[in-house]
Chain A
Amino acid sequence: MRCAFRKALAAAVLAFTATASHAADWIQPPAWEADVDTRLVSSDGQRSFVNGGLGTLRFDATESGLRLGRARFALSQALGEIWSLRLDASAWGDHDRNPVDLTEAYLQFRPYPFAGYRFRLKAGAFYAPISLENRAAGWESPYTLSYSAINTWLGEELRTIGVEGQADWLGTHTGHGFDLELTGGVFGWNDPAGVVIANRGFNFSDRQTTLFGRVGASNSGPLQPLELFHEIDSGPGYYAGVEGRYFDRIVIRALHYDNRADPEAFDRGIHMSAWETHFNSVGLRVEGANGWTAIVQWLAGQSYVEPDDEDMRWPFRARFALLSRQIGNHRLSIRYDSFAVDGESDDGDGAQHGHAWTAAYVFEPNTHRPDVKCKVTLEWLRVTSDSPYRVIELGTPAVATETQVQLAVRFALGPLAR
């Protein structure tokens, strides 16, 4: 009897130990990253969008000097082997409603591949796979501080708040030279997407709109503050995309997006219409063994609203070409952007045409510690744009050339830092 009891006790202890060790495997300590990016800015830009103006730069002439580029904290929590939770919070140092807010928050399901195929699922708030430039953590660009017109717009107005599924064929793991990926997303809470393009046009910034934030200043600007992540018509939008990769050298992405908003819907709480916005995007990135990278991306679509049966449409298109070369710890990049919004409303509001040149130098010194990274970036950006709205709203000439020079020093700390 005593022997049997001992055996049972030993078995129970063993079972508990096994369970405990399994539980210890299941819940891992979170991986994290904290970044601070400070800027020395010189700008002759017109009143910026975050200040309620029609300028095309993140920092306007009144904001030259020492500025916060971004303070960011990211957390990745593994939940067992195939589930994980990701949170990305940022402070941008401007007068948003919340001083710190989330840019992304999602749960990811990523089972192991089976016979060369894999299925992935994301649920929450995150970026759709469109940009080929914003490939670094925090949806930052490793090439320049300011994103291209296309990707600045995606960061300002778009976020998938919903579910995204991806099916991969891992050809490079089965003796072939390329991988394929199909993506489909269903989302809500993005019905205002398109309002910024119609009201101001394209912009050049790295200021991503936060999930609970409010874009624009509440004081006396021509543009009223906007809350972009709202559901107005109670109907979901969707996107569908495809990506092909040739080894790690060439990536091509194409995506169709439609928020399927009801252009007659209006939310009296936030005083905003639902903007029916759809677009197509295609991008190509080529990387060579000698440190060269070339990216081209193209996007074209249309936003429209129908308040009081009045049909107001803003077709828009933008493209850019980026050339970059890495030599050791140094990287030089140059980008040309071209963008246009055709204001087809009765009064011609919101039309904008322009182009921009960006040049950036990035230096990443060796820190000799894997969890500490440092990056110094010098960027010059010049945007020339023609916007009749300036004449109507500000009484200033329609054409403006704005220049911004930024020197950024960024420190990143933590196991996820890179």
Chain B
Amino acid sequence: MFQSRYIVSAVLLFGGLLQATGAFAATLTVAVQTSDGRPLTGAVVTVRVLSGANHPAAPVNAVMDQVNRAFVPDVLVIPAGSTVEFPNSDSVNHQIYSFSPARKFQLPLYRGKRYPPVRFDQVGFVTLGCNIHDSMLAYVLVTDAPYFGRTDPTGAWSVEVPSGSYRVTVWHPRMRESTELEREVTIGDAERTAVTVRLTKPLQPAPLEGPHSWDAY
């Protein structure tokens, strides 16, 4: 009994070492650009395994706060099965909702009260709004990808992956393309592999800061 445990642990450790040594792993960098070639910050990148089993990442407990009548952050990427807590740091009440098929829910966020986290089991896009403040808009992207993240201010995101073939998808809340942009990439012996994804259409306008915090009429 004890032995078999040790064997399992050793195999897991070896597998981990294999990935960490770099002998079978490489750095995949995904650069996302707007249609006019500028780096796009905050784009969501997911990487799924094509050559073998695609093991989703482990669920997490994430937080999306309400600050100054806005969702913070405005985009969350979480593995399926994760939970999200929605605190309210504002001095006013909010009423958040989603009517997206991937997760429908309603949650009154009375100020100063805590509410149980919301669980997201189904893969897909969930659009969030506030029934009191219509300008509030946020997205939860529930993914089954083992690797995911958002691009930094230089428009890039990197991950260490074992050699193999992958499907890279890119999404941004303001992109006009109706579906995610996809690229297939094969990681071979090279230490670094770079993929550049350029949007085909101009971005939608960014939300304004400030003015709609006035809107009472």
Q: Evaluate contact between A418 and B110: CB separation under 8 angstroms.
A: no
Given A25-B108, A113-B99, A173-B129, A371–B207 Cβ distance below 8 Å?
no
C-alpha gap A418/B91 in the complex (Å): 11
Q: Report A236 CB to chain B, min CB distance, Å.
A: 23
A248 at the interface (CB under 8 A from B): yes
Q: Which residue in chain B gives the minimum CB-CB distance to A288?
A: B208
C-alpha gap A82/B97 in the complex (Å): 13
Q: Evaluate contact between A415 and B217: CB separation under 8 angstroms.
A: no
A1 at the interface (CB under 8 A from B): no
Of the residues A136, A174, A247, contact of B207 by C-beta under 8 Å:
A247
Which of A126-134, A215-223, A310-318 interfaces with chain B? A126-134
**With A31-B92, A112-B131 already in contact, 5 other A-B pairs whose C-beta atoms are closer than 8 Å:** A131-B217, A168-B134, A287-B211, A289-B206, A370-B68
Size category, A interface: 35 or more
Q: Evaluate contact between B137 and A31: CB separation under 8 angstroms.
A: no
C-alpha gap A31/B129 in the complex (Å): 21
Given A112-B97, A137-B216, A370–B110 Cβ distance below 8 Å?
no
Q: Report B154 CB to chain A, min CB distance, Å.
A: 21
A139 at the interface (CB under 8 A from B): yes
| 24 CB < 8 A contacts A-B | A25-B108, A25-B113, A31-B93, A31-B111, A110-B132, A112-B106, A113-B99, A116-B99, A136-B216, A136-B217, A142-B214, A168-B134, A173-B127, A173-B129, A173-B137, A175-B127, A247-B205, A248-B135, A248-B207, A249-B208, A287-B208, A289-B205, A326-B211, A371-B91
A68 at the interface (CB under 8 A from B): no
A5 at the interface (CB under 8 A from B): no
C-alpha gap A115/B129 in the complex (Å): 12
A330 at the interface (CB under 8 A from B): no
Q: How many pairs of A and B residues are in contact by the CB < 8 Å rule?
A: 91
Q: Evaluate contact between A172 and B137: CB separation under 8 angstroms.
A: yes
Query: Which of B90, B135, B208 has the largest count of A CB atoms less than 10 A from its CB?
Result: B208
B213 at the interface (CB under 8 A from A): yes
Contact code string B124-140 (vs A, CB < 8 Å = 1, else 0): 00010101101101000
Contact code string A136-162 (vs B, CB < 8 Å = 1, else 0): 111100100000000000000000000
Of the residues A25, A175, A248, A415, contact of B208 by C-beta under 8 Å:
A248
Q: Report B114 CB to chain A, min CB distance, Å.
A: 12
C-alpha gap A111/B106 in the complex (Å): 11
**For residue A134, which residues in chain B have a CB less than 8 angstroms away from its CB?**
217
Interface residues of A in 288-341 (CB under 8 A from B): 289, 293, 326
A186 at the interface (CB under 8 A from B): no
A177 at the interface (CB under 8 A from B): yes
Q: Evaluate contact between B110 and A136: CB separation under 8 angstroms.
A: no
**For residue B110, which residues in chain A have a CB less than 8 angstroms away from its CB?**
25, 28, 78
C-alpha gap A116/B68 in the complex (Å): 24
Q: Which residue in chain B gives the minimum CB-CB distance to A136?
A: B214
Given A247-B204, A248-B212, A287-B211, A416–B92 Cβ distance below 8 Å?
yes
Of the residues A114, A118, A249, A418, contact of B213 by C-beta under 8 Å:
A418
Q: Which residue in chain B gives the minimum CB-CB distance to A289?
A: B206
